[in-house]
Amino acid sequence: MGIESILLFLGLAVAVLVIAGYLCTVSMMLKDVSFTVGTVLVGVRSIALQCQPIGGVVREIVRDVQAIEEDLDGLLASAESEDEAPVRGQVGARR
Of all residues in the chain, the percent with pLDDT exceeding 70 is 87
CA angle centred on 57, ends 62 and 48, rounded to 5°: 155
b or e along 53-76 (b: 16 or more beta carbons within 10 Å of the residue's beta carbon)?
eeeeeeeeeeeeeeeeeeeeeeee
Quickly state the pLDDT bin for 59 (edges 50, 70, 90): very high
What is the arithmetic mean of pLDDT over 9-21?
A: 96
Quickly state the pLDDT bin for 95 (edges 50, 70, 90): very low
